[in-house]
Amino acid sequence: EVQLVESGGDLVQPGGSLRLSCAASGFTFSSYWMSWVRQAPGKGLEWVANIKQDGSERYYVDSVKGRFTISRDNAKNFLYLQMNSLRAEDTAMYYCASRWVASTATDFWGQGTLVTVSS
């Protein structure tokens, strides 16, 4: 069974840091691009970041560039999002996802982990 399980979401003060993790199982993690997508409470979806299979290419939405870093550990089947200098507008449910864009195969999503940035 395919699973993507996010963790690491928490309440953090503005300016703080957090690292999200996404544990992948049931598919060949190292074969696919991976993504983070977020959704602020009551709002729409926003793509956050992509990372290539070997980590050699990474892309970010402008609002997180220089503050967030996407990474992966193919040996452990984990995806990460290091979030620094957090702002109130980063408050959202964060989903990890695979095969969700151009792939002809079934998309995979986690259940999400909630990040709240507030003093």
Partner 1 sequence: DIQMTQSPSSLSASVGDRVTITCRASQGIRNDLGWYQQKPGKAPKRLIYATSSLQSGVPSRFSGSGSGTEFTLTISSLQPEDFATYYCLQYNTYPYTFGQGTKLEIK
Nearest approach, Cβ of 104 to partner 1 (angstroms)? 7
Closest CA to 71 of 60, 82, 84, 85: 82
Are 79 and 24 in contact by the 8 Å Cβ rule? The answer is yes
Are 18 and 91 in contact by the 8 Å Cβ rule? The answer is no
Nearer to partner 1, 16 or 46 (CB): 46
Nearest approach, Cβ of 74 to partner 1 (angstroms)? 22
- Summarize as ranges the residues that interact with partner 1 (CB under 8 A): 37, 44-47, 50, 59-62, 95, 97, 100-107, 109-112
Q: What's the start-to-end Cα distance of the chain, in Å? A: 40
Let me know the angle formed at the C-alpha of 50 by 48 and 52, rounded to the nearest 5 degrees: 170
Nearest approach, Cβ of 67 to partner 1 (angstroms)? 15
Nearer to partner 1, 37 or 117 (CB): 37
Nearer to partner 1, 50 or 83 (CB): 50
Nearest approach, Cβ of 42 to partner 1 (angstroms)? 11
Closest CA to 112 of 96, 101, 89: 96
Nearer to partner 1, 16 or 39 (CB): 39
